């Protein structure tokens, strides 16, 4: 059940001006029964001005008299006779004044990149008019030399979800179906994988990457390179061979 707009002020008035029980007042105002009792004992809401629910149209006098006569009855809130505001019909999206000068650029981008969109869809998406869209399509707009296509999402005229939804609906109506692309899997044969690769793209089969890495580590361990900063002079082949012959041709001395 809906409660009064100001429950404590209403409870203060009902405690001071009626003979309703604490339970009845608590159920009508959406308060606890002990809180209503504290209001009656001036422990809560001291100095608060009471609000008459009958004068505010939240309760009728007949309903109030009925519940005063029967302590077990529950107060029923009166139906307001104030006319409710009408629901605004769905139409073109409202565009702030600061962004209205960007709408021609957004229209040009949509016409260029999504020709499947209709004038009604573009008008609803960014909040423009059909004559403006037709003028940009036919390049007869008065400011056509200064119009540069720009993404309406970047301009803040719509969000990504709305644009994707409108494009999806337009493509469905036009019969445009995007072909799904199959990803390359490890189980594919080398011939199928080569056909699916792009120019310059290399894919290592299972185990090849690990083998290449282990081979590079082995070569690095076998041939350590120490950079001392001093360039080494290349030794001639003749000197190395002569030194080897002198070592092996030398006879052991008598001391040994």
DSSP assignment of 53-85: TTTTTSS-HHHHHHHHH-TT----PPPP-SPPP
Global confidence as pTM: 0.40
Confidence class of residue 109 from pLDDT cuts 50, 70 and 90?
Answer: very high
Q: At residue 78, does pLDDT exceed 80? A: yes
Of 103, 134, 106, the C-alpha closest to 119 is 134
* pLDDT reported for residue 152: 92
Banded pLDDT at 175 (limits 50, 70, 90): confident
The answer to whether residue 182 scores a pLDDT higher than 60 is no
Instruction: Evaluate if residue 253 carries a pLDDT over 70.
Output: no
pLDDT score, position 184: 42
pLDDT at 5 over 80: yes
Q: 52, 1, 56: which is closest to 28 by C-alpha? A: 1
Mean pLDDT of the chain: 77
pLDDT band at 183 (very low <50, low <70, confident <90, very high): very low
Q: How confident is the model at residue 79 (pLDDT cuts 50, 70, 90)?
A: confident
* pLDDT tens-digit readout, 43-64: 888 888 899 999 888 889 999 9
Question: What are the residue ranges spanned by the domains of the chain?
Answer: 7-69, 97-173
Query: CA 117, 119, 121, 124: dihedral to nearest 10 degrees?
Result: 150
220 pLDDT above the threshold of 80? no
Cβ within 8 Å of residue 183, ≥6 positions away: none
Tens digit of each residue's pLDDT (9 = 90 or more) over 142-154: 999 999 999 999 9
């Amino acid at each position: 059940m809906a409660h009064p707009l100001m429950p404590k002020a209403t409870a203060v008035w009902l405690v001071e001006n009626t003979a309703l029980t604490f339970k009845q007042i608590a159920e009508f105002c959406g308060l606890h029964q002990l809180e209503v009792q504290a209001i009656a004992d001036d422990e809560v809401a001291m100095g608060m001005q009471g609000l008459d629910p009958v004068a505010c149209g939240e309760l009728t006098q007949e309903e109030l008299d009925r519940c005063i006569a029967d302590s077990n009855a529950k107060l029923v809130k009166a139906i307001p006779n104030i006319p409710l505001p009408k629901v605004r019909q769905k139409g073109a999206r409202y565009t702030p004044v600061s962004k209205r000068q960007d709408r021609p650029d957004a229209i040009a981008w949509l016409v260029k990149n999504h020709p499947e969109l209709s004038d009604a869809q573009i008008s609803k998406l960014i909040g423009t008019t059909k004559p403006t869209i037709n003028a940009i399509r036919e390049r007869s707009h008065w400011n056509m030399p200064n119009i540069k296509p720009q993404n309406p999402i970047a301009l803040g005229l719509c969000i990504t979800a709305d644009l994707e939804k409108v494009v999806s609906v337009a493509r469905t109506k036009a019969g445009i179906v995007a072909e799904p692309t199959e990803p390359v899997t490890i189980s594919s044969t080398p011939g199928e994988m080569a056909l699916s690769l792009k120019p310059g793209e290399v894919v290592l089969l299972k185990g090849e990457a690990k083998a290449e890495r282990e081979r590079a580590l082995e070569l690095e361990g076998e041939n350590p390179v120490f950079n001392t900063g001093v360039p080494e002079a290349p030794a001639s082949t003749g000197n190395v061979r002569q030194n080897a012959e002198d070592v092996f041709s030398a006879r052991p001395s008598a001391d040994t």
